[in-house]
Structure 1
C-alpha cells in the first residue's frame, strides 16, 4: 500500500520471490498489497544469515499487470499463504511467519488457522483510514484504479526511489483488503501465537495505534510491540530496517522456553 514518495514501477529481479538459507526452522515472509517480495527480502537475508530458511513468495496478482491484481481476491492471497505454509511445514519441524501490511493480515489469519510457531507483523492495518472503507465498495464499479500519489510510504528518500511497486492501485483490490481486514478482526481472539508487532512511527498508510490494538485483541501470552521511530510504512527497506531485522532475529531465537522459540 502507498503514501508519499516518487513512484517506481515493478522490476523483474528486484521483485522476484526468494528462498534463502537453510535451517531446522523456516520463516515465511509475506509482502503487502501492490508490493513484491523485495520489500521483505532484507528480513529474509537477515534470517538466512542467522541460520533460518527464509522464503518470500509473490502473492497472486502481484508483480504483473494491474488487471491481474484487480482480479485477485483476498481468498486467493490467503490460499497462497496457506499453501506456502503447508509446503514449509512438510519439510521443517517449526515454521514462523512474518508479514508486512496486507501480508501481516495474512500472517494473523495463519496464526489462527495453522500451527505457526512464532510470528511477526509489520505496519498491519486492522482498518483503512476514513473515508476509504466507506467509498471503495461503490467507487470500484465506476473507477477501476487510482494512481499512487507520491508512491511508496518510505521515509528514506533513496530507498523510496528504488522501491519497486505497482504505479496504481485497483479499487477492486482495495475492496479485497477491506474484506481481509474484516476476516482477520474476527479471528484475533483465537490467536495464541507468540507475536512481535512492529510499526513505523511515521506510517501514513496504517495507523501506528493498530500495533497496540492487535496486542490487546489477541490471546497470545507473549505479544511484544516495537515502534520504529524513524520509519514510515515499508519499514524493512526504510531507515530502521536493520533495527527491525535484528529485533526479528532476536525475537525468534530469544525465548528461554524451547516451545516459544523458532
Structure 2
C-alpha cells in the first residue's frame, strides 16, 4: 500500500487532439498529500497529468516545519508548476486551504494558467488572536493543531497535532502580500466553501471573489463538510465539479 503522505504524481494521457492537460494540486498548512490524494486520484483517472508535491516542512514534524515558511512553500509550488507546464499544453492549479492560497499566488504570477480550483482557501481572517503572532511566535513555539477538522467520522487527515507559530506567522504575512495581487488573477476560478469551517472563516472566499479579475468565477457551497472537505461528506461534489471545470477550461 502506498504512503498517503508521499507526493503524488500521474503522467496522464494525451487527449484525442494530442494535447496533454496537467493539474497541480497543493495540500494545506501542517497537512500532507494525504488530505487531497483521493481528489488527485479522481482527476488522474480522467487522464490528466496530476502532481501533488509534499511541501517543505510537512510530513515530518511540526518542529521541522517551524524552520520553514512561505518562501520555501511558494518556491516548491513554483518549481512543481514549471515542471508540469513544461510537459503539458494547459495546466490547471488548485489546492486545499493554504494549498488554495498557493494556487491563487501562482495564478497571480502566471496568466497562462488555464484555471484555478480551490477548497476553503485563506487570504484573510477575522480571528483577532492572529494579531498576537509577531510577538507570540518568539515566546511560544506551537499551539494546538488545526488539522483534522472533518465532519465525517473515522477519517484521518495525517496532519500535525501542533501548529508551529513561526510558520503560521509567515503564512499570515503572505496573505497580506497576496491580497493586493488578487486583481491580477484573470483565469477562470472555481471556489468550494464549506458552510461550517472551524479553520477558515467566510471572509476569505468573499474577498477572493470580490477582488479577482476573472470573468468566469463561481462559488459552490459544501453543506455537509468542515474544513478538510476533500476528505469529508461533500468530497464527491468537489471531485466531480472540479473535473468538469478542468475539462471545460482546457478545451481546445
Distance 1:243 1:225 in 2: 12
Q: What does residue 182 of structure 2 align with? A: 188
Can you give the 5+ residue segments of structure 1 that lack an aligned partner in the other structure? Answer: 1-11
Q: Within 5 Å, which residues of 2 pair with 1:69-80? A: 69-80=65-76
CA deviations 1:53-84 (Å, max 9, x no partner) are 11100001101122220011101111111100
Is the contact between residue 126 and residue 203 of structure 2 (CA under 8 Å) also seen in structure 1?
no
Shift of 1:209: 4.1
State whether residues 235 and 241 of structure 1, in contact with CA within 8 Å, keep that contact through their aligned partners in structure 2: yes
Asked if residue 16 in structure 1 is aligned to residue 12 in structure 2, the reply is no
TM-score, scaled relative to structure 1: 0.89
- Give the corresponding residue for 2:87: 91
* 1:1-262 alignment runs, 5 A limit: 13-23=3-13, 24-114=20-110, 115-148=112-145, 151-159=147-155, 162-254=156-248, 261=251
Provide structure 2 residue ranges, at least 5 long, that are not aligned to the other structure.
14-19
Quote the offset at 1:48 in angstroms: 0.8
C-alpha distance in structure 2 between counterparts of 1:76 and 1:212, whole Å: 27
- Report how many residues are paired: 244
- Structure 1 runs of 4+ off > 3 angstroms? none
Secondary structure at the aligned position of 1:89 is classed as: helix
1:140-173 superposed Cα distances (whole Å, 9 cap, x missing partner): 0000011227x511111221xx221111111101
TM-score scaled by length of structure 2: 0.92
* Higher RCO by CA contacts (8 Å cutoff, separation 6 or greater): 1
Q: Counterparts of 1:170 and 1:41 in 2: how far apart (Å)?
A: 24
Counterpart CA distance in 2 for 1:16 and 1:75 is: 21
Tell me how far apart the structure 2 counterparts of residues 261 and 172 of structure 1 sit (CA, whole Å).
42
**Aligned residues: CA RMSD:** 1.6
